[in-house]
Protein backbone atom coordinates (compact mmCIF):
# COMPACT_ATOMS: atom_id res chain seq x y z
CA UNK A 1 0.00 0.00 0.00
CA UNK A 2 1.07 3.60 -0.70
CA UNK A 3 3.14 5.02 2.25
CA UNK A 4 0.62 7.84 2.75
CA UNK A 5 -2.24 5.35 3.28
CA UNK A 6 0.04 3.30 5.56
CA UNK A 7 0.49 6.38 7.73
CA UNK A 8 -3.27 7.11 7.81
CA UNK A 9 -3.82 3.42 8.71
CA UNK A 10 -1.27 3.61 11.55
CA UNK A 11 -2.67 6.84 13.05
CA UNK A 12 -6.39 6.00 12.83
CA UNK A 13 -5.94 2.36 13.87
CA UNK A 14 -4.22 3.56 17.03
CA UNK A 15 -7.15 5.94 17.68
CA UNK A 16 -9.96 3.40 17.15
CA UNK A 17 -10.58 2.42 20.80
CA UNK A 18 -10.91 6.00 22.08
CA UNK A 19 -12.46 7.58 18.98
CA UNK A 20 -16.16 7.27 19.93
CA UNK A 21 -15.56 8.62 23.42
CA UNK A 22 -13.57 11.61 22.06
CA UNK A 23 -16.22 12.49 19.49
CA UNK A 24 -19.16 11.86 21.83
CA UNK A 25 -17.78 14.13 24.55
CA UNK A 26 -17.74 17.15 22.21
CA UNK A 27 -21.17 18.78 21.79
CA UNK A 28 -20.29 20.40 18.44
CA UNK A 29 -19.12 17.08 17.02
CA UNK A 30 -22.42 15.56 18.21
CA UNK A 31 -24.34 18.39 16.51
CA UNK A 32 -22.38 17.88 13.25
CA UNK A 33 -23.24 14.17 13.25
CA UNK A 34 -26.92 14.90 14.01
CA UNK A 35 -27.03 17.23 10.98
CA UNK A 36 -25.45 14.53 8.79
CA UNK A 37 -27.91 11.87 9.96
CA UNK A 38 -30.79 14.28 9.36
CA UNK A 39 -29.56 14.85 5.79
CA UNK A 40 -29.25 11.09 5.29
CA UNK A 41 -32.82 10.59 6.47
CA UNK A 42 -34.01 13.09 3.85
CA UNK A 43 -32.39 10.91 1.19
CA UNK A 44 -32.41 7.29 2.35
CA UNK A 45 -35.49 5.18 1.77
CA UNK A 46 -36.45 2.21 3.92
CA UNK A 47 -34.03 -0.71 3.59
CA UNK A 48 -31.67 1.37 1.45
CA UNK A 49 -28.43 -0.21 0.28
CA UNK A 50 -25.68 2.16 1.41
CA UNK A 51 -21.92 2.54 1.03
CA UNK A 52 -19.75 4.50 3.46
CA UNK A 53 -16.24 5.69 2.62
CA UNK A 54 -13.88 6.22 5.58
CA UNK A 55 -16.28 4.73 8.12
CA UNK A 56 -14.03 4.93 11.18
CA UNK A 57 -15.85 3.24 14.06
CA UNK A 58 -19.10 3.27 12.03
CA UNK A 59 -20.95 5.68 14.31
CA UNK A 60 -23.11 6.90 11.44
CA UNK A 61 -23.55 3.44 9.92
CA UNK A 62 -25.00 2.00 13.14
CA UNK A 63 -27.39 4.95 13.52
CA UNK A 64 -28.64 4.94 9.94
CA UNK A 65 -29.05 1.14 9.92
CA UNK A 66 -31.21 1.44 13.03
CA UNK A 67 -33.31 4.23 11.50
CA UNK A 68 -33.84 2.77 8.00
CA UNK A 69 -33.46 -0.99 8.42
CA UNK A 70 -31.00 -0.73 5.52
CA UNK A 71 -27.61 -2.33 4.92
CA UNK A 72 -24.20 -0.62 4.93
CA UNK A 73 -20.94 -1.60 3.25
CA UNK A 74 -17.93 0.29 4.62
CA UNK A 75 -14.45 1.09 3.34
CA UNK A 76 -11.60 2.43 5.41
CA UNK A 77 -7.80 2.39 5.06
CA UNK A 78 -7.35 1.78 8.80
CA UNK A 79 -7.50 -1.90 9.74
CA UNK A 80 -7.97 -0.95 13.41
CA UNK A 81 -11.13 0.99 12.52
CA UNK A 82 -12.49 -1.86 10.39
CA UNK A 83 -11.92 -4.40 13.19
CA UNK A 84 -13.46 -2.11 15.79
CA UNK A 85 -16.55 -1.45 13.65
CA UNK A 86 -17.09 -5.18 12.96
CA UNK A 87 -16.90 -5.89 16.69
CA UNK A 88 -19.34 -3.04 17.41
CA UNK A 89 -21.87 -4.32 14.85
CA UNK A 90 -21.66 -7.83 16.35
CA UNK A 91 -22.41 -6.33 19.79
CA UNK A 92 -25.37 -4.37 18.35
CA UNK A 93 -26.74 -7.42 16.52
CA UNK A 94 -26.35 -5.66 13.15
CA UNK A 95 -23.66 -7.90 11.58
CA UNK A 96 -26.10 -9.43 9.09
CA UNK A 97 -26.54 -6.05 7.37
CA UNK A 98 -22.96 -4.80 7.70
CA UNK A 99 -19.72 -5.44 5.78
CA UNK A 100 -16.39 -3.61 6.04
CA UNK A 101 -13.30 -3.75 3.84
CA UNK A 102 -9.85 -2.25 4.05
CA UNK A 103 -9.58 -0.08 0.93
CA UNK A 104 -8.65 3.54 0.14
CA UNK A 105 -11.40 5.86 -1.11
CA UNK A 106 -9.64 6.20 -4.49
CA UNK A 107 -10.30 2.49 -5.20
CA UNK A 108 -14.05 2.63 -4.52
CA UNK A 109 -14.78 1.74 -8.16
CA UNK A 110 -13.33 -1.75 -7.60
CA UNK A 111 -16.24 -2.80 -5.38
CA UNK A 112 -18.16 -4.04 -8.42
CA UNK A 113 -21.74 -3.32 -7.27
CA UNK A 114 -24.03 -0.30 -7.00
CA UNK A 115 -25.70 1.41 -4.03
CA UNK A 116 -28.71 3.71 -3.44
CA UNK A 117 -26.78 6.07 -1.20
CA UNK A 118 -23.02 6.64 -0.97
CA UNK A 119 -21.65 8.81 1.83
CA UNK A 120 -18.39 9.93 3.39
CA UNK A 121 -18.42 12.07 6.52
CA UNK A 122 -16.09 14.15 8.64
CA UNK A 123 -12.90 14.38 6.71
CA UNK A 124 -11.98 11.03 5.15
CA UNK A 125 -11.80 12.79 1.78
CA UNK A 126 -9.34 15.34 3.18
CA UNK A 127 -6.84 12.51 3.45
CA UNK A 128 -7.45 11.05 0.00
CA UNK A 129 -4.66 12.21 -2.36
CA UNK A 130 -6.38 10.87 -5.49
CA UNK A 131 -9.83 12.47 -5.52
CA UNK A 132 -10.04 12.23 -9.34
CA UNK A 133 -10.05 8.44 -9.10
CA UNK A 134 -12.44 8.53 -6.16
CA UNK A 135 -15.02 10.47 -8.18
CA UNK A 136 -14.52 8.22 -11.23
CA UNK A 137 -15.22 5.28 -8.92
CA UNK A 138 -18.38 6.93 -7.57
CA UNK A 139 -19.91 6.71 -11.05
CA UNK A 140 -19.22 2.95 -11.04
CA UNK A 141 -20.92 2.35 -7.67
CA UNK A 142 -24.09 4.40 -8.34
CA UNK A 143 -26.93 4.45 -10.84
CA UNK A 144 -29.16 7.33 -12.01
CA UNK A 145 -31.27 8.43 -9.04
CA UNK A 146 -28.50 7.48 -6.59
CA UNK A 147 -27.48 9.98 -3.92
CA UNK A 148 -24.01 11.07 -2.82
CA UNK A 149 -23.49 12.79 0.55
CA UNK A 150 -20.07 14.17 1.43
CA UNK A 151 -18.81 16.22 4.34
CA UNK A 152 -15.25 17.50 4.27
CA UNK A 153 -13.04 19.90 6.24
CA UNK A 154 -13.28 23.23 4.49
CA UNK A 155 -10.65 25.87 3.73
CA UNK A 156 -12.70 28.71 5.17
CA UNK A 157 -14.50 28.63 8.53
CA UNK A 158 -16.19 31.92 9.44
CA UNK A 159 -15.81 31.57 13.22
CA UNK A 160 -12.16 30.64 13.00
CA UNK A 161 -11.41 33.49 10.62
CA UNK A 162 -13.13 35.98 12.97
CA UNK A 163 -11.25 34.57 15.96
CA UNK A 164 -7.84 35.07 14.35
CA UNK A 165 -8.86 38.50 13.04
CA UNK A 166 -9.79 39.63 16.57
CA UNK A 167 -6.47 38.27 17.89
CA UNK A 168 -4.69 40.05 15.04
CA UNK A 169 -3.05 36.75 14.05
CA UNK A 170 -4.10 36.15 10.40
CA UNK A 171 -1.04 33.94 9.70
CA UNK A 172 -2.30 31.17 11.99
CA UNK A 173 -5.46 31.09 9.95
CA UNK A 174 -3.73 31.13 6.58
CA UNK A 175 -1.99 27.79 7.29
CA UNK A 176 -5.32 26.13 6.44
CA UNK A 177 -5.07 27.34 2.89
CA UNK A 178 -1.78 25.50 2.28
CA UNK A 179 -1.47 22.30 0.27
CA UNK A 180 -1.09 19.96 3.25
CA UNK A 181 -1.56 20.66 6.95
CA UNK A 182 -0.81 18.40 9.94
CA UNK A 183 -3.99 17.76 11.89
CA UNK A 184 -4.08 16.13 15.33
CA UNK A 185 -5.75 12.71 15.70
CA UNK A 186 -5.85 11.59 19.35
CA UNK A 187 -2.11 11.37 20.28
CA UNK A 188 -0.72 11.69 16.76
CA UNK A 189 -1.36 13.62 13.54
CA UNK A 190 -1.99 13.09 9.81
CA UNK A 191 -1.29 15.33 6.86
CA UNK A 192 -4.55 16.46 5.30
CA UNK A 193 -5.62 18.82 2.56
CA UNK A 194 -8.47 21.21 3.28
CA UNK A 195 -10.98 21.48 0.44
CA UNK A 196 -13.39 24.08 -0.89
CA UNK A 197 -16.87 23.61 -2.28
CA UNK A 198 -15.55 24.83 -5.64
CA UNK A 199 -12.91 22.09 -5.72
CA UNK A 200 -15.55 19.43 -5.02
CA UNK A 201 -17.88 20.96 -7.60
CA UNK A 202 -15.09 20.89 -10.21
CA UNK A 203 -14.27 17.25 -9.44
CA UNK A 204 -17.85 16.00 -9.34
CA UNK A 205 -18.68 14.00 -12.51
CA UNK A 206 -21.10 15.75 -14.91
CA UNK A 207 -23.82 13.17 -14.27
CA UNK A 208 -24.23 14.44 -10.66
CA UNK A 209 -26.05 17.61 -9.65
CA UNK A 210 -25.51 19.29 -6.26
CA UNK A 211 -28.92 19.82 -4.62
CA UNK A 212 -27.74 21.18 -1.27
CA UNK A 213 -24.56 22.40 0.41
CA UNK A 214 -24.56 23.50 4.05
CA UNK A 215 -21.89 24.54 6.52
CA UNK A 216 -21.28 22.60 9.75
CA UNK A 217 -19.54 24.34 12.64
CA UNK A 218 -19.86 27.80 11.08
CA UNK A 219 -19.17 30.02 14.11
CA UNK A 220 -17.97 27.27 16.45
CA UNK A 221 -15.63 24.64 15.02
CA UNK A 222 -15.45 21.47 17.19
CA UNK A 223 -12.19 22.46 18.88
CA UNK A 224 -13.96 25.51 20.37
CA UNK A 225 -16.47 23.30 22.20
CA UNK A 226 -14.55 23.14 25.48
CA UNK A 227 -14.82 26.93 25.83
CA UNK A 228 -18.62 26.68 26.13
CA UNK A 229 -19.19 25.28 29.62
CA UNK A 230 -22.88 25.84 30.44
CA UNK A 231 -25.61 23.66 29.06
CA UNK A 232 -27.83 26.67 28.25
CA UNK A 233 -24.97 28.31 26.32
CA UNK A 234 -24.41 25.04 24.42
CA UNK A 235 -28.08 24.94 23.45
CA UNK A 236 -27.80 28.54 22.23
CA UNK A 237 -24.70 27.69 20.15
CA UNK A 238 -26.50 24.76 18.48
CA UNK A 239 -29.56 26.95 17.78
CA UNK A 240 -27.34 29.62 16.18
CA UNK A 241 -25.48 26.98 14.15
CA UNK A 242 -28.75 25.54 12.86
CA UNK A 243 -29.99 28.98 11.81
CA UNK A 244 -26.69 29.92 10.13
CA UNK A 245 -26.68 26.66 8.18
CA UNK A 246 -29.91 27.86 6.51
CA UNK A 247 -28.57 31.29 5.55
CA UNK A 248 -27.34 31.33 1.94
CA UNK A 249 -23.68 32.38 1.46
CA UNK A 250 -22.85 32.27 5.22
CA UNK A 251 -23.74 28.60 5.25
CA UNK A 252 -20.88 27.92 2.84
CA UNK A 253 -18.29 28.92 5.44
CA UNK A 254 -18.38 26.08 7.95
CA UNK A 255 -15.53 24.13 9.51
CA UNK A 256 -16.98 21.41 7.29
CA UNK A 257 -19.28 21.50 4.29
CA UNK A 258 -21.96 18.88 3.79
CA UNK A 259 -22.82 18.38 0.12
CA UNK A 260 -25.77 16.44 -1.25
CA UNK A 261 -25.60 15.45 -4.91
CA UNK A 262 -28.02 13.40 -6.97
CA UNK A 263 -27.03 11.35 -9.98
CA UNK A 264 -29.16 12.64 -12.82
CA UNK A 265 -27.93 10.51 -15.76
C1 LIG B 1 -11.99 11.61 10.85
S2 LIG B 1 -12.37 9.91 10.67
C3 LIG B 1 -14.10 9.96 10.32
C4 LIG B 1 -14.74 8.64 10.65
C5 LIG B 1 -16.26 8.60 10.50
N6 LIG B 1 -16.65 8.82 9.13
C7 LIG B 1 -16.92 9.60 11.41
O8 LIG B 1 -17.59 10.49 10.90
O9 LIG B 1 -16.78 9.50 12.62
C10 LIG B 1 -11.67 9.53 9.12
C11 LIG B 1 -11.73 8.05 8.79
O12 LIG B 1 -11.46 7.92 7.40
C13 LIG B 1 -10.44 6.99 7.19
N14 LIG B 1 -9.69 7.45 6.01
C15 LIG B 1 -8.85 8.51 5.96
N16 LIG B 1 -8.37 8.66 4.70
C17 LIG B 1 -8.93 7.67 3.98
C18 LIG B 1 -8.84 7.29 2.61
N19 LIG B 1 -8.07 7.97 1.77
N20 LIG B 1 -9.55 6.23 2.18
C21 LIG B 1 -10.34 5.53 3.05
N22 LIG B 1 -10.45 5.82 4.36
C23 LIG B 1 -9.77 6.89 4.80
C24 LIG B 1 -9.60 6.98 8.46
O25 LIG B 1 -8.92 5.77 8.63
C26 LIG B 1 -10.68 7.22 9.52
O27 LIG B 1 -11.23 6.02 9.96
Q: What is the pLDDT of residue 118?
A: 98
Q: How far apart are CA 141 and CA 115, in angstroms?
A: 6
Our answer on whether the CB atom of 124 is closer than 6 Å to any ligand 1 atom is yes
What DSSP letter does each residue of 175-231 carry, written as one string?
GGGSS-EEEEETTEEEEE--B-HHHHHHHS-TTEEEEEEEEESSSS-GGGGGG--SH
For residue 188, the cross-strand partners are 185
67: pLDDT confidence band, cut at 50, 70 and 90? very high
Q: What is the pLDDT of residue 181?
A: 84
Q: How far apart are CA 149 and CA 39, in angstroms?
A: 8
Q: Which residues contact 63 (CB under 8 A, 6 or more apart)?
A: 33, 37
Task: Give the pLDDT confidence of 158-189 residue by residue, as tens digits.
Answer: 998 888 888 888 777 666 666 788 888 888 99
Q: What is the pLDDT of residue 175?
A: 61
Task: Give the pLDDT confidence of 11-46 residue by residue, as tens digits.
Answer: 999 999 999 999 999 999 999 999 999 999 999 999
Ligand 1, residue 11: give the atom nearest the CA.
25
Task: Give the pLDDT confidence of 118-151 residue by residue, as tens digits.
Answer: 999 999 999 999 999 999 999 999 999 999 999 9
What DSSP letter does each residue of 1-48 carry, written as one string?
--HHHHHHHHHHHHHHHHHHHHHHT-HHHHHHHHHHHHHHHHHPPTT-
Our answer on whether the CB atom of 222 is closer than 6 Å to any ligand 1 atom is no
Looking at residues 202-211, what average pLDDT do you find?
Answer: 97
Q: What is the pLDDT of residue 177?
A: 65
C-alpha 165 to ligand 1 mean position (Å): 31
C-alpha 226 to ligand 1 mean position (Å): 24
**Which of 76, 144, 81 has its CA nearest to residue 104?**
76
User: Is the pTM higher than 0.85?
Assistant: yes
Task: Give the pLDDT confidence of 102-117 residue by residue, as tens digits.
Answer: 999 999 999 999 999 9
State the chain's mean pLDDT as an integer.
94
Q: How far is CA 147 from the centre of its chain?
A: 15
Please name each of the domains of the chain with its CATH number.
3-155+179-217+255-263 (3.40.50.150)
Task: Give the pLDDT confidence of 220-236 residue by residue, as tens digits.
Answer: 999 889 989 999 999 99
Q: Which residues contact 256 (CB under 8 A, 6 or more apart)?
A: 32, 122, 123, 151, 152, 153, 154, 215, 216, 217
C-alpha 175 to ligand 1 mean position (Å): 22
Q: What is the pLDDT of residue 166?
A: 87
Asked if pLDDT for residue 64 goes beyond 70, the answer is: yes
Higher pLDDT, 112 or 1: 112
**Residue 259 and residue 212 in contact, taking contact as beta carbons nearer than 8 Å:** yes
Q: What is the pLDDT of residue 234?
A: 96
Q: What is the pLDDT of residue 174?
A: 63
Q: What is the pLDDT of residue 178?
A: 66
Amino acid sequence: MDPYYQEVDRVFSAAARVYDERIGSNFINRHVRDMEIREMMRNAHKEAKMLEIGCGTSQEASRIMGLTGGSVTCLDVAQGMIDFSLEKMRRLGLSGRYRAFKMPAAEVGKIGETFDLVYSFNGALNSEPDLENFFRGIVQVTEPGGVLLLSFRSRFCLGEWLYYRIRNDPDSYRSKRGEYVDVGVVNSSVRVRYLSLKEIRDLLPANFRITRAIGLGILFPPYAASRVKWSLARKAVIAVERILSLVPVISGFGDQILVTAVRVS
